[in-house]
């Protein structure tokens, strides 16, 4: 008597029935939503870093400007 792979794998019917319950388009839309969410999250983080860089640069320029004015007032 030949033994097939379905005889060796336990619960093949249960696996098959659960696999048939998967809705293809819902799975595709869920994956797409996950990708879009990830892109939005990365974009938000990118803008946060960009904003920090702009604010840090503006603050450094302002402090440099104040330091230069203080030095010019002392020599004049």
Cα 50 to Cα 43: distance, rounded to the nearest angstrom:
10
Q: What do you get for the CA distance between the two ends of the chain, in Å?
A: 107
> What is the structure's pLDDT at 19?
87
pLDDT digits (tens, 9 = 90+) for 28-68: 999 999 999 999 999 999 999 999 999 999 999 999 999 99
Please give the model's pTM, rounded to 2 decimal places: 0.57
- Helices and strands counted in the chain (H then E): 3, 0
Q: Residue 59 has which token pair?
A: 């603050």
Mean pLDDT, residues 7-31 taken together? 87
Cα 10 to Cα 21: distance, rounded to the nearest angstrom:
19
């Amino acid at each position: 008597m030949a033994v097939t792979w379905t005889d060796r794998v336990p619960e093949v019917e249960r696996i098959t029935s659960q696999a048939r319950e998967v809705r293809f388009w819902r799975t595709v839309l869920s994956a797409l939503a996950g990708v879009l969410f990830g892109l939005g999250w990365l974009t938000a983080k990118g803008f946060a870093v960009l904003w920090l860089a702009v604010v840090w640069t503006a603050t450094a320029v302002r402090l440099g400007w104040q330091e230069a004015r203080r030095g010019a007032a002392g020599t004049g």
